[in-house]
A and B are shown apart, each in its own frame.
Chain A
Amino acid sequence: MRAWDKLSLRARLGLLYTVLLVFSVVLVGCYSYWNIWQLFISNKSSQLRARAKPIIEHWLIDNDLANSDNPHLKLNPQKAFILARDLTSRDTVAIVLNQKGDIIANGKRLPEEPEAPTPDKHYLRRALAGENEVTYRSQVNGKPVLVLLIPLRPQPASPRIFGVIQMSTLLTDIREILFHHGAMLVSLVAIILILGIGTGFWLIGASLKDLQVLLVSCDQISKGNLSQRVSVKNHRDEISRLAVSFNRMIEKLEATFASQQRFVANAAHELMTPLTGLRGSLEVLLRGAQDDPSAMARLSKGMYREVNRLIRLCEQLLGLSQLESSSNVNKQPIVLSEFFNEFKADAQVLAGGRSLTIQQGPCVKVSADPDLLKQILLNLLSNALRYSPSETPVVIGWKLVVGEVEIWVSDQGQGMDAETLSHAFEPFYQGKNTVVSGDKGIGLGLSLAKSMVEAQGGMIRIESEPGKGTTVSFTLPLK
C-alpha cells in the first residue's frame, strides 16, 4: 500500500486500467478458446454418429436383428466384427462390447489404423443403462481421443440393449487447428493489450496534462508570482472547471494584494512628509540654529505639529485595522436626541467659535456603537469645518427613512468637484480643495467614516455641489 501511495496519479490510473484490460481480454480469450474447442468436439461427434447410424441400421437388417424379439439374443463375434470393421476408418476405430461390457470384436486390422482405448467402466455402464449419446475424452499412448458410446438396440426406440459400440477417433487434427487458433488468439490478445495499454496511458496522460499545467502554475504562484494564470483548453471537464475557479481565486487574491500594497505605499508616503519635516528641522537645529532662540521656537513648534500629525495618522490607521474584525463593534440601543445632547459639547470644541446647529429630528432609537457614531460625526464635522468659510453655518440633523434613520452633516462651503466626489472614500485620497481652517488632513477621514458606518450595517453617501456646499448622510438601523 505504501508503494501504491507513492505512485503518481497517472501511474496509478494507468496501472489500474492495465490490470482491468489484461483481466478482461484474457477472460474473453479463454472463453472463446474453450467455446471453439467445445464446438469442434460436438461437431466431430455428430459427424461420427451421422456416419455410424446408417451403417448400424444396415447391419441390423442384414443380420435379421432388427425385428428379433429374443430377449436372450447373443452377439455373434463374427457379425460383431463385420460391424466393427465397417465402422473403422483411417482415423476412427470401433470396438463392439456385449451386455456385460466384454470386448467381443475390435475393428482395428491395419497397422495405420488407430488403437482403441480401453473402455471406461463408468461411461460404459451409463451407455448400457440406456443413455444414447455418451461422449467423453480419453487418451491412447498419450494421444487425445474422442470416445463415443452407441448402445445397440433392435429398434431405435427399443428399450432392449444387446451391446455397445465404442467408437474412438484421434483428436490430433483438432488439436492442430486449435493450436493455430490459440496462437492467433494469443497474438490478437497481445496486440489488443499493447494498443489498449498504449492508448490508455496516452489518454490518461492527455487528460491529466491539464492537471500537470495546474500544478506547475500553483508552484509558480506559491513562489510569489501572482500574475501567473493557468491556461487550459476549453474542455468542460472537472480539471478545466477547477482551473477556471482557481484563476478566479488568484485574480481576487491579486486584487486584494494590490490594494493592500497601494494602501501600505500610501501610508508610508503619508508618514514620509512629517518625517521629512522632523528630520530636517532637527538637522538644522543641530547644525547651529539651536543657538538662536527664535529659530529654536519656530522649528520646535513645527516639529510638535509634525509629531501630532504622525500620532493622528497612526490612530486612524489603527482605527481602520480594528474595524476589520466585527467583534470590535459594540452595538447597543441609542436614543438619538440624548446622544446628540451629549455630543454637542464635543462638537462645539471642534467648531471653536463657529456656528454649529444640531437640528432635533424625530424621537427614535437606533442600534449602533456610540463610540463609532461619535467618531463618524467628528470626522464629518471636521471636514465640514475645514472646507467651508468660517461665516457659513454647519448643520447636523437626522430624519426617518424607510426602516432606517438617516443622519446628515451639511455645510455651505466650496463643495466637491466630480473627481473628488468619485474618489472621496478612497483611503489617502485628498481633493484639490483649499483648506479654509485648521491643518491639512491625511485623506483618511471619509474612508474611515465609511468603514465605521458599514461595520454597523449602514450606508454613507455624499451630495455636493461645487460652490454651494456638501451634505454627507449615513444610515443606521432602527432599534
Chain B
Amino acid sequence: MSTDKNDNKIKILVIEDDPVITEFLCTGLRYEGYEVTPRTTGKAGLDALQQATFDLIILDVMLPDIDGFEVCQHIRNHASNIPILMLTVKKAISDRVRGLDSGADDYMTKPFSFDELLARIRALLRRSGRIHESKRLQAGAIVLDLQTREVTKDGKKINLTPTEFGLLELFMRHPHRVFTRETLLNRVLGYDYDGGTNIIDVHISHLRSKLGDRPPRLIRTIYAVGYAFYPEETST
C-alpha cells in the first residue's frame, strides 16, 4: 500500500478490457501512490468521466464496444484537456498518427515496460501542470539533487556510488514505506540481477556510514523484513 500521506492523490482512469492488464496496472499504479479507477468498456469509461474528475486517462485502443480513437475524440470534443495515454498492440506508424490526431498526448505499444509507463505518466502530468516535481528531494538535513545527482548533508557534499544514490532516492521518495531486500534489489540493481540479497545489506551499511547515520537511524532495519526510511521530523 502507498505510504503517501498526501490526500489529494493523482487520479487515473484506466480504460482497458483485458482483465490481467487492468489488474497489474491498478496494482502497480496504486503502489506508486496514484488513485486508480478501472473501466472495461469505452462507454463505462465515458460515464466515469462524467461522474468524477481525473488527472490522466490510460486508454486501450482495442475496446469491445467503442474504438479507443473514438473515445479519445469524444473526450476531446467535450473540451477536456486531460492528458490521454493510449495503449495499443499495433506498431503501424499510421496508427500512431491516428492516435495523436484523435487527441491522445502519448502513445505506448504493447508489451510495454511498466517503468517506462510510469515515466511517461510522470512526464504527462508534469507537462499538464498537475504535479510540480521538484528537481530536489529534501529530508531534514539531507538534500538530493536529481539533476546533478549530488547529495549534501548540512551543506556538505557526500560522494555516493550510483547504487547508493538509487537506494537513497527510493527511500526519500517513499518515506516510512517498508522495502524488502528483494524489492530493493530489483528496484536498484534491475530485475535481472542474479546475486543474493546480502549485497543490499552491504550497500545499506555503506550508505549509512557515508550519511553519518547513528541510532535512532534514518534508515532503519525492520526485523525479518527489510528496511524503511524515517526522515528527521525536525525539518528546517
Chain A residues engaging chain B, CB cutoff 8 angstroms = 269, 272-284, 286-292, 295, 298-299, 302-303, 305-306, 432, 434
Contacts and interface: CB of A to CB of B under 8 A. Distances in A.
Interface in B1-24: 1, 18-21, 23-24
B19 to A, nearest CB: 7
A284 B178 CA distance: 16
B191 interface: yes
B191 A280 contact: no
B21 A290 contact: no
Contacts of A286: 183, 186, 191
A297 to B, nearest CB: 11
Nearest to A294: B27
Interface string B161-199: 000000000000000001110110011000100000000
Contact of B20 (A274, A289, A290): A274
B101 interface: no
A432 B65 contact: yes
A275 B20 CA distance: 10
Given A282-B191, A283-B113, 12 more contacts: A273-B21, A280-B24, A280-B112, A284-B114, A287-B114, A288-B31, A288-B179, A288-B187, A291-B179, A299-B23, A299-B27, A432-B64
A269 B111 CA distance: 10
B25 A280 contact: yes
Given A286-B186, A287-B183, A276 B31 contact: no
A279 B192 CA distance: 13
B89 interface: yes
A303 B21 CA distance: 10
Nearest to A304: B20
A281 B1 contact: no
Nearest to A270: B89
Contacts, number: 97
Which DSSP category, helix, strand, loop or mixed, fits chain A's interface? Answer: helix
Contacts of B20: 274, 277-278, 280-281, 302-303, 305-306
A277 to B, nearest CB: 3
A289 B31 contact: yes
Contacts of A277: 18, 20-21, 23-24
Contacts of B64: 432, 434
Interface in B117-154: none
B113 A289 contact: no
Nearest to B179: A288
Given A276-B21, A277-B20, A283-B191, A298 B111 contact: no
B1 A292 contact: yes
A310 to B, nearest CB: 12
21 contacts: A269-B90, A276-B89, A276-B111, A277-B24, A278-B20, A280-B28, A283-B115, A284-B24, A287-B183, A287-B186, A288-B31, A288-B179, A288-B186, A289-B31, A291-B180, A291-B182, A291-B225, A299-B27, A302-B20, A302-B23, A432-B64
Interface string B103-116: 00000001111110
Nearest to A280: B24
A302 B111 contact: no
A443 to B, nearest CB: 12
A184 to B, nearest CB: 77
Contacts of A305: 19-20
Interface in B65-95: 65, 89-90
B28 A290 contact: no
A302 B112 contact: no
A385 to B, nearest CB: 19
Contact of B114 (A274, A280, A292, A306): A280
A282 B112 CA distance: 12
B110 A273 contact: yes
Given A276-B112, A279-B113, A290 B183 contact: yes
Contacts of B25: 280
Nearest to A269: B89
Nearest to B1: A292
Contacts of A434: 64
A302 B183 contact: no
Contacts of B191: 282-283, 286
A343 B113 CA distance: 45
A289 B162 CA distance: 24
B24 A287 contact: no
Nearest to B111: A276
Interface in B37-65: 64-65
Closest 9 CB pairs of A and B: A277-B20, A284-B28, A302-B20, A276-B111, A283-B114, A276-B110, A280-B24, A288-B183, A281-B24
A367 to B, nearest CB: 41
A287 B28 CA distance: 8
Interface in B186-225: 186-187, 191, 225
A41 B164 CA distance: 124
